[in-house]
């Protein structure tokens, strides 16, 4: 079993080594073969150099480097296009997605779920305005698309390789990856 960890990033120089170390330790404990695909979405800080230094130490670290900033969903899409794992985990670089949840994602995947997404347990740190806008967005999305898109999820999830291959055939230019998952028909489950 091989896992790919896809990490889109913009100016995250100080978070990359802590993220790499924490996730590597979790994956080693799982006994998994793995790779990191960092997608540098036009950083102007030392992010790309830090990733190159990690690659020199550990060839499982790979870097895709954009010519300019194209946005988080485009960076995530590029990472999914290059991932070679049987399971592909996407997570942010800013340490807001706890690596210690990864074993639960893998356990649910091994039970047979093709999409294992995470559900935020607390939004106390998010302002009222953002919570209202976010709630409205999910209601409108569900109504227009007739898809059962779960709320309070993040772009921190595990996708089986077959889901990643399905996503590669969908070539929207303005993508909302989270919204494509309830559409693709695969078996999914949330993890808190
Ligand atoms: N990010 C990116 N391109 C951008 C903006 C953000 O690749 O144009 C990365 C960022 O470094 C982080 C992830 O995408 O790893 C999520 O971004 P952010 O933390 O700003 O989103 P939020 O936490 O507000 O959802
Ligand atoms: Mg963030």
> What's the pLDDT score for residue 123?
67
- CATH of 2-191 among 2.40.30.10, 3.65.10.10, 3.90.550.10, 3.40.50.300: 3.90.550.10
Specify the ligand 1 atom closest to the Cα of 10: 11
Q: How many residues does the chain have?
A: 192
Q: Where are the alpha helices (DSSP H) in the chain?
A: 16-30, 47-57, 72-82, 102-110, 128-145, 161-168, 177-180
Residue 145 CA to residue 132 CA, distance in Å, equals 20
Residue 164 CA to residue 175 CA, distance in Å, equals 14
Contact 179, 96 (CB under 8 A): no
Residue 90 clears pLDDT 90, i.e. is over it: yes
The pTM is what? 0.93
Gyration radius of the chain over CA positions: 16
pLDDT band at 28 (very low <50, low <70, confident <90, very high): very high
% of the chain residues with pLDDT over 70:
99
Which ligand has the nearest atom to the CA of 120?
1
Ligand 2 centroid vs 83 CA: distance in angstroms? 22
**What's the rounded mean pLDDT across residues 119-141?**
87
Ligand 2 centroid vs 108 CA: distance in angstroms? 25
> What's the pLDDT score for residue 168?
95
- Of residues 162, 179, 9, the one with CA closest to residue 87: 162
Tokens standing for 39? 């997608």
Atom 23 in ligand 1: residue holding the nearest Cα: 96
The CA distances from residue 3 to 10, 30, 43, 98, in Å, are 23, 10, 25, 17
Pocket test for ligand 1, best of 92, 130, 154 (most atoms within 8 A of CB): 92
Mean pLDDT computed over every residue of the chain: 95
Which ligand has the nearest atom to the CA of 134?
1
> Which residues are near ligand 1 (CB < 6 Å)?
8-10, 12, 41, 69, 71-72, 75, 92-94, 96
Contact 172, 77 (CB under 8 A): no
Contact 35, 7 (CB under 8 A): no
């Amino acid at each position: 079993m091989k896992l790919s960890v896809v990490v889109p990033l913009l100016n995250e120089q100080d978070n990359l080594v802590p993220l790499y170390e924490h996730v590597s330790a979790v994956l080693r404990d799982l006994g998994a073969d793995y790779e990191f695909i960092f997608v540098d979405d036009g950083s102007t800080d030392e992010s790309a150099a830090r990733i190159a230094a990690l690659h020199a130490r550990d060839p499982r670290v790979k870097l895709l480097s954009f010519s300019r900033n194209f946005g988080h969903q485009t960076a995530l899409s590029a990472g999914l296009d290059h991932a070679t794992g049987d399971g592909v985990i996407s997570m942010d670089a800013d340490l807001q997605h706890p690596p210690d949840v990864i074993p639960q994602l893998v356990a649910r995947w091994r039970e047979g779920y093709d999409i294992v997404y995470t559900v935020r347990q607390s939004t106390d740190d998010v302002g009222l305005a953002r919570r209202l806008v976010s709630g409205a967005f999910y209601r409108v999305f569900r109504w227009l698309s007739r898809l059962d898109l779960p709320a309070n999820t993040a772009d921190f999830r595990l996708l089986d390789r077959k889901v990643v291959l399905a996503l590669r055939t969908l070539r929207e230019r303005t993508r909302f990856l989270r919204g494509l998952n309830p559409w693709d028909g695969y078996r999914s489950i949330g993890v808190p």
